[in-house]
Amino acid sequence: MSERDVALLGMFAARDGLISAAVEPYSEEPDKEEIISPEVYSQLKDHVQEIVRQQFRLEETVRSRDPVVRSKFKAIALNCMRYLDIRVGTPDVPALVQRLFDDIMGYGPLERYFWDPEVTEIIVNNTKITIEKNGIEFDAEEQFESVEQARDVVQRMIAPTGKRLDYAEPEVNARLFDGSRLIAQIAPIAVDGILVAIRRFRQDLTVAELLKNGAFSRALLDFLRAAVVSRQNIVVSGGTGSGKTTLLNVLGSFIPESDRIITIEDPAELRLQHPKVRRLEARPPNIEGKGEIPIRRLVKSALRMAPKRIIVGECRGAEAFDMLQAMNTGHLGSLTTLHANSAADSITRLVGMVLQTGMDLNESAILNMIASAVDLIVHVEMDRTGRRRVDHVVEVAGIRRNEAGAVSGVELNPLWAFSREKNDWVWVGRKFLRKEKLVREGGWRCSL
C-alpha cells in the first residue's frame, strides 16, 4: 500500500470518527521560530482546508471546540503532512497542528488569547490587534493577514450563535463559547473595513482574588455582604470596563440559597452559582425586523414568575422604569448596573432612562420613584494602572427639596470612599439610616 493510500485511509477514518487522538492544549507562548517556511505552511493549510471542506459536516464546523471534532481535525492534519511529505520534529507537531486549527477552524491570531485568563479585552481595527491584559493595553505581535481573514474569523465566531454579519446586517452583538461578549461592524458602517471588540470575563475569579487585587477591603466586603443579605436594593455604577459585572457577580454570590432569583441580561454574562437562579436573555430582531424580545419585556415577564429578587445585568434605557417598579413592589434585594461617572451621576442617568418610556412622568415623580426604590449605590472605577476597584458607596436617603418645598433631587449619604493617600477604603458616613437593618438582618458587625 502506498503512502498516499495510507494518508487517504487516515482521512476517511477521521471522517467517520474512528480516530480519537486528542489535540494538546494550546500553548500560551508564541512560536519563537517558524516550524516550516511560509510557503510550505500555505501549501499545507490549503490542502487541509480542502479536506476539511470535503469531510466535515456543517454542524461539525460549528462545533469546532468539541474534543471529537478537534481529534478528527488533528487526524486530517497529520495525514496531510504525510501525504505532502512535510517532515517536522516530533516536539513541533502539536504547535503546527494547533496553528492549522486556529487558522482553519479556530479564531486565527486571536485564538491564543482565549486561553489566557489574564486577557480581558481584544480589539481589532482592520488587521491590527490590540490586547488588554491585567489592565494594561498593548499591541499584539500578530495581526491578520487581511481584512478578509479578519471577517472570516468573525464569521466562525458567530456561526454557533445563528447570527449573521453581512452588508444587510453590518453589525453583530454575540456571546461566544466562553461567555465573552463580541461586537463587530463591517462596511458600510465600519468605514475602513472591520472593527471588533471582545470583552472577556474571568470565569474563576474568586472573592479572595478580588481582595488580593485590591478591588475592595475586607471591611467593605463585609458591609456589602450584609447589605445583600438584608435585602437592600443596590445599583452598581461605573464606566465601560470598570468591573461592574464582576462586582455584580460578587454581590449575587451573597444571596441566600433560599431566595428565588431571575437574571435578565443582554447578552447573558453573569455566572451565579445559585441553586434557584433562572436566567433570561434579550433577543434582537431578525433581518426582517421581527422577533425582538427586549429587556423591558423580560423584566415585566419576570414579575409574573414569582422571584424573590430580580437582577438586571445592565439598565440602558426604558427598562430602568420597570426595574424601579420591581424594587418598589416587594422584590427587595434586587440588583442592577448602569453606566455613570459617579454615584450622584447615576441619579441623573436613571431619570433620563425613565423618560425614554415616553410616559407622562415629570422629573419630580421620577426622583420620588428612585428615592423609594434604591437603597445603595456602589460606584466602581478603573484607575490609570488598570486596577479595578470600588471607589465610593452612598446611601439613598430620600428626596431633597429646595426652599420653596419643591423636589430638587435625591439626598445621598456618603458611606465609603477610597483614600488614595492611605490606599484603603475609609468609612466617611456621618449618617446611615439603614445601619440597624444591616446589623440585625444582615449580620453586619459594625465596628465603625
Which residues, 6 or more positions from 425, have their beta carbon under 8 angstroms from its beta carbon? 216, 217, 219, 220, 390, 416, 417, 418, 419
Q: What is the CA radius of gyration of the chain?
A: 26
pLDDT, mean of residues 374-400:
94
The answer to whether 127 touches 146, Cβ cutoff 8 Å, is yes
Which residues, 6 or more positions from 195, have their beta carbon under 8 angstroms from its beta carbon? 124, 125, 126, 184, 185
Identity of the residue numbered 77:
A
C-alpha cell at 323: 426595574
Other C-beta atoms within 10 Å of 85: how many? 7
Please report the DSSP string for 289-355 in residue order.
S---B-HHHHHHHHHTS--SEEEES---STHHHHHHHHHHTT-TT-EEEEE-SSHHHHHHHHHHHHH
| CA–CA dist 287, 344 (Å, integer) | 39
Which residues, 6 or more positions from 193, have their beta carbon under 8 angstroms from its beta carbon? 126, 147, 150, 186, 187
- This prediction has a pTM of 0.78
Q: What is the pLDDT of residue 448?
A: 67
Reported as type and span, the H/E element at residue 441 is: helix 435-442
| CA–CA dist 284, 362 (Å, integer) | 30
Q: Beta strand 335-339 with 309-312: parallel, antiparallel or unpaired? A: parallel
pLDDT, mean of residues 106-121:
90
Exposure pattern of 41-65 as b/e (b: 16+ CB <10 Å)?
Answer: beebbebbbebbeebbeeebbbbbe
pLDDT, mean of residues 70-88:
92
C-alpha cell at 231: 435585602
C-alpha cell at 119: 486577557
Q: What is the pLDDT of residue 266?
A: 86
Q: What is the pLDDT of residue 135?
A: 78
Angle at 434 between CA 432 and CA 436, to 5 degrees: 105
pLDDT by residue (tens digit) across 17-39? 343 333 333 444 444 457 889 89
pLDDT by residue (tens digit) across 330-379? 899 999 999 999 999 999 999 999 999 999 899 999 999 999 999 999 99
The answer to whether 191 touches 175, Cβ cutoff 8 Å, is no
The answer to whether 78 touches 70, Cβ cutoff 8 Å, is no
Q: Beta strand 136-139 with 128-133: parallel, antiparallel or unpaired? A: antiparallel
Residue 233: pLDDT above 80? yes
C-alpha neighbours within 13 Å on the C-beta side of residue 225: 15
Q: What is the pLDDT of residue 90?
A: 87
Lowest mean pLDDT among 83-92, 239-248, 280-289, 314-323: 280-289
Confidence of residue 415 (pLDDT cuts 50, 70, 90): very high
Mean pLDDT rounded to a whole number for the chain = 88
The answer to whether 200 touches 217, Cβ cutoff 8 Å, is no
Domains of the chain: 3-105 (no CATH), 110-199 (3.30.450.370), 207-442 (3.40.50.300)
| CA–CA dist 120, 260 (Å, integer) | 31
Q: What is the pLDDT of residue 30?
A: 44
Other C-beta atoms within 10 Å of 346: how many? 28
| CA–CA dist 119, 198 (Å, integer) | 10
The answer to whether 63 touches 69, Cβ cutoff 8 Å, is yes
| CA–CA dist 277, 257 (Å, integer) | 9
